[in-house]
Amino acid sequence: MTKNKGTIEVWGARVHNLKNIDVEIPRGSLTVITGLSGSGKSSLAFDTIFAEGQRRYIETFSAYARNFLGNMERPDVDKITGLSPVISIEQKTTNKNPRSTVGTTTEVYDFLRLLYARAGEAFSYVTGERMVKYTEEQIVNLLLKDYLGRKVYLLAPLVKNRKGHYKELFETVIKKGFLYVRVDGELMEVEQGMKLDRYKNHSIEVVVDRLVVKETDDRRLQNSIANTLKQGEGLMMVYDVADESIRHYSRRLMCPTSGISYSDPAPHNFSFNSPQGACPRCKGLGFVSLIDRDLIIPDHSLSIHDGAIAPLGKWKNSMIFWQIQAILEKYGYTENDPVSNLSDEALDEIFNGSIERLRIPAEKTRTTSDYYCTYEGLVKYIRSTQENDQSATAQKWVGQFSRECQCPECQGQRLNKQALSFRIADKNIAELAIMDLGDLYLWLQDLDDKLTDHQKKIAPEILKEIRTRLKFLLDVGLGYLTLNRRSNSLSGGESQRINLVTALGSSLVGSMY
C-alpha cells in the first residue's frame, strides 16, 4: 500500500517514448498532462495508468471469463500504486451512424421516451380530441346515461377499410351464431357463401346484440357489452337505430369520434430506431432520397434519341425505349424532338408510368403480332434498381439521380403519427428534441406546475434524471445543441464533451476517468 492514499504513484514508466518516468498524480482533482507532440502524454494516461487499471480489473474475473476477454499485457512499468477503478473516454470521436443523435448518446432521449410512455396524454391524429379509455363498467354506465329507452345495436368491428372478399370471415361469423353484420355502413343478414368485391376497401362489423337499453335489464346489457368487446378485441360501436348515429367505445386508448385506437404506449413506441415508433416512410431517419427530374434529364435541348435521359443514354433497340416511343407517339411526338418541346403530360407519363397498356409493334419485337405491356415509369425503374441491386456500383449509379430531402410524412421528426400524438404540457416528444438544450432545461424546470395530479405521481424521478444529465451538458458548454442533432454532424470537441457527460452522468463514485 502507498503511504499517501491521496495520490497515484507511478515508478519507472517505459511505455513507448517514456524514459523511466516517475510521477505522482493527486486523486480527487482534475490533472492535465501537457507536452509536445510525441512526448508520451497518451502513453502515460492511456497505455500505462488506464491499461494497468483495466488489467487488474480483468484479473478479478474467473479463468473461464478471461478466456473470452483474452489476457492483457502488463504495461512496461516498475510499480503503480493508489489506482482506483478506471474509465477511459475514447479519443476517437467520429460516429458515422445516421441514427445516432445527441439524445441517444447522452441517454436523455431514453428517459424522455420513458416519461412519455408513462405520463404522456394521447390525442387523436384525425380529430385532435383527447383519446379515451373505458372499463366495461364505465361503458355500461355511459350507455344507461346516453341511450336509456332507445333501441341500439351493439357492433364489434372485425375489418377496418381493407381489401378482400372475406368469405371465410362470414363463415366464421355464422359458426359463432351471429345473424347480422354491418358492411360499409349497411346492415345485412349473413348468408352462406356470402362474399364481397375483393378489389374494394371494406369495413365490417358483426351485430352482437339488438336491444332497448333499460335499467331493469342491465344484466343482459353487461353480458352483451362483455361479448362485444371480446369479439372486437377491446373495441365496440353502438348504433342508434332512431338517428342512425355511431359512437365508439374501447378498453384501449380510442378517439370517441373517428374510432381510431392506440395500443397502450411503451418506451419503444417513441423510439425512431424501433419499427413500433419509426416513421414508416423514412424508417426513422428523418430524410428520404427522392428521384430528381432535373438530374435524370439535365439538358432539355437534347432529344431522347440523342441521350437526353441520363440513366438510359443514347437510343437503343430495347423494351424501355420502345415503351417511351409509344408514349411519345400517343401525344404526337417522336424520339427526335427536343425534350423542351414535349408537353408536361407526356413527360409525367414518361417519369411516372402509364395507366393504359402500351402497344409495341410486331416489327420491333420480331414476333407475329403486336405486343401489349404496362409501363411503370423511369422513377420506378431507378427505384427497383436501388432495391434489387445492393452493390456499391448500383447504389452509386442511383445516387446520381436522387437527392436527400426532409421526409414529407413526418416533416423530419422521425416518428410515426401515433407517437407524435402523445403530449405533455401541450408538447410532443419531437418538439422537445428540436429545442436548444438550454431552453429545454428551463422548460423542464417549470414543468411541475403544468402537470396533472396523475402525472405528478409518475414523473418526478424521471424528470430528476433528465434534469441532471441536461445540467451536465450545460456545464460543459453544450447548451446550444439539440437532442435530435445527428452525432455524425458534431465537431471533435463537441463529441468529446458529450462522451464526458455520458460517463459523468452515470454517477459512479471513487472512479478515475
Of 389, 312, 310, nearest to 323 by C-alpha is 312
- The stretch 115-140 carries a mean pLDDT of 87
CA dihedral 147, 152, 155, 161 (to 10 degrees): -90
pLDDT surpassing 80 at residue 236? yes
Residue 480 has pLDDT above 90, yes or no: yes
User: 24 or 2: which carries more pLDDT confidence?
Assistant: 24
What digits encode the pLDDT tens for the residues 40-93? 888 898 888 898 888 888 888 888 888 888 777 888 889 888 888 888 877 666
Predicted pLDDT of residue 92: 64
Q: Can you give the pLDDT at residue 68?
A: 83
Owner of C-alpha cell 505522482: 24
Work out the pLDDT band at 3, boundaries 50, 70, 90: very low
- Whether the per-residue pLDDT at 506 is higher than 80: the answer is no
Helix (H, G, I), strand (E, B) or coil at 256: coil
- Mean pLDDT for 462-467 is 92
Instruction: Supply the pLDDT for residue 422.
Output: 93
Sign of CA dihedral 468, 471, 476, 479: positive
Q: Which residue has the cell 416511343?
A: 325
Least reliable range by pLDDT among 290-294, 341-345, 484-488: 290-294
Q: Please write the tens of the pLDDT for every residue from 250-287.
A: 888 888 777 788 888 899 999 999 889 999 888 888 88
Q: What is the pLDDT of residue 2?
A: 39
> Is residue 505 helix, strand or coil?
coil
d(CA 438, CA 87): 28
**If you average pLDDT over residues 147-166, what whole number do you get?**
87
Helix H segments across 206-272? 218-231
pLDDT digits (tens, 9 = 90+) for 371-391: 888 888 888 888 887 777 777
- The average confidence (pLDDT) of the chain is 86
Position 5 scores a pLDDT of 65
Compute the average pLDDT of residues 396-425: 87
pLDDT exceeds 80 at position 347: yes
Percent share of the chain, pLDDT over 70: 97
pLDDT at 94 over 70: no
At 498, give phi and psi (nearest 5°): -65, -40
Dihedral over Cα of 364, 370, 371, 373: its sign: positive
Mean pLDDT of 216-234: 85
Task: Give the pLDDT band of residue 317 (cuts 50, 70, 90).
Answer: confident
**Are 462 and 111 in contact, with CB atoms under 8 Å apart?**
yes
Question: Does pLDDT of 1 surpass 60?
Answer: no
The total of other beta-carbon atoms located within 10 Å of residue 511's CB is 13
Strands 201-212 and 180-183, sheet pairing: antiparallel
The pLDDT of residue 91 is: 67
Q: Report DSSP state, residue 65.
A: H
**% of the chain with per-residue pLDDT over 90:** 14
Q: State residue 429's pLDDT score.
A: 93
Instruction: Return the pLDDT at 329.
Output: 87
Q: What is the pLDDT of residue 116?
A: 92
Mention every residue, 6+ apart, whose C-beta is less than 8 A from residue 283: none
Lowest pLDDT segment from 93-102, 132-141, 320-329, 460-469:
93-102
> Of the ranges 27-31, 240-244, 415-419, which is most confident?
415-419
pLDDT given for residue 424 in this prediction: 92
Give the tens place of pLDDT for each residue, 160-199. 888 888 888 888 888 888 888 888 888 888 888 888 888 8
